[in-house]
């Protein structure tokens, strides 16, 4: 029996709801053997982020190369990368697997997780080698310098971001309004709506990390990109609907959702 494998290159959340901890839980739930290269360490919980320390870019490179040399991942995702140096290191590696880039810029508590100069490196170095870019509307707006406040603007943003190099773009619509949470997937020249009922919940810590990790797991198992996104969206909706109710702030989703 073959083992499905996936690698996350991301920051650490000691409270377990976001970052590489969320990624590894999600990989496991999808039956994928998960590996992790650490980019930065945060001091955070469900209430706040108190400190962020970036690892040396060469140490990040060595972590990833150690995994690639021994356990080739079926798919790879990035989370919080923190600096231009780390982004450039990741972009320079021969990953030889689908790459999902979650452009983590700001924590749920408003703490910056990507230096301003790193946005240029993200756009010019990493996006050209990206399989799927997964920004929320706020991140899409920051990358493009234009508002993304409506579904039509999300569609335009997905197309515009694809021109920066990624093979596909998923603009997540969680910050939009309306009865449904509609994500816009631009792939192979098509604009698709990936929809689910909007849930009234404050337990959204790590949602973006978890969603992109679920997509990565699907790609690692050989799903098409569209199928991986649709499967991940449906599972994330169930995870949002059944939070574990831990912490006194913005709680995490249920990574054990079936």
| Residues carrying an active site annotation | 172, 204, 206-209
Q: How far apart are CA 155 and CA 148, in angstroms?
A: 9
| Pair 158, 148: CB distance under 8 Å | no
Residue where the block lists tokens 């797991």:
217
Q: Exposure pattern of 62-91 as b/e (b: 16+ CB <10 Å)? A: ebbeebbeeeebbbbbbbbbbbbbbbbbbb
């Amino acid at each position: 029996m073959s083992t499905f494998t996936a690698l996350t290159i991301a920051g650490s959340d000691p409270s377990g709801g976001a970052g590489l901890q969320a990624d590894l839980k999600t990989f496991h739930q999808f039956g994928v053997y998960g590996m992790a290269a650490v980019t930065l360490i945060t001091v955070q919980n469900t209430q706040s982020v108190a400190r962020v320390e970036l690892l040396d870019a060469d140490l990040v490179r060595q972590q990833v190369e150690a995994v690639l040399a021994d356990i080739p991942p079926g798919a790879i995702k990035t989370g919080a990368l923190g600096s231009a140096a780390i982004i450039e290191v990741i972009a320079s590696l021969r990953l030889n697997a689908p790459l999902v880039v979650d452009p983590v810029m700001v924590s749920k508590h408003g703490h910056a997780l990507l230096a301003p100069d790193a946005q240029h490196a993200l756009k010019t170095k990493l996006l050209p080698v990206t399989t799927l870019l997964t920004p929320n509307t706020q991140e899409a707006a920051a990358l493009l310098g234009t508002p993304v406040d409506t579904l039509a603007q999300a569609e335009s943003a997905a197309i515009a971001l694809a021109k920066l190099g990624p093979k596909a773009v998923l603009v997540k619509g969680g910050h939009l309004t309306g009865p449904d949470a509609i994500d816009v997937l631009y792939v192979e020249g098509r604009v698709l709506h990936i929809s689910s009922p909007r849930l009234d919940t404050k337990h959204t810590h790590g949602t973006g990390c978890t969603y992109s990790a679920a997509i990565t797991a699907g790609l690692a198992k050989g799903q098409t990109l569209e199928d991986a996104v649709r499967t991940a969206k449906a599972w994330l909706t169930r995870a949002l609907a059944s939070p574990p109710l831990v912490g006194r702030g913005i709680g995490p989703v249920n990574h054990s959702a079936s």
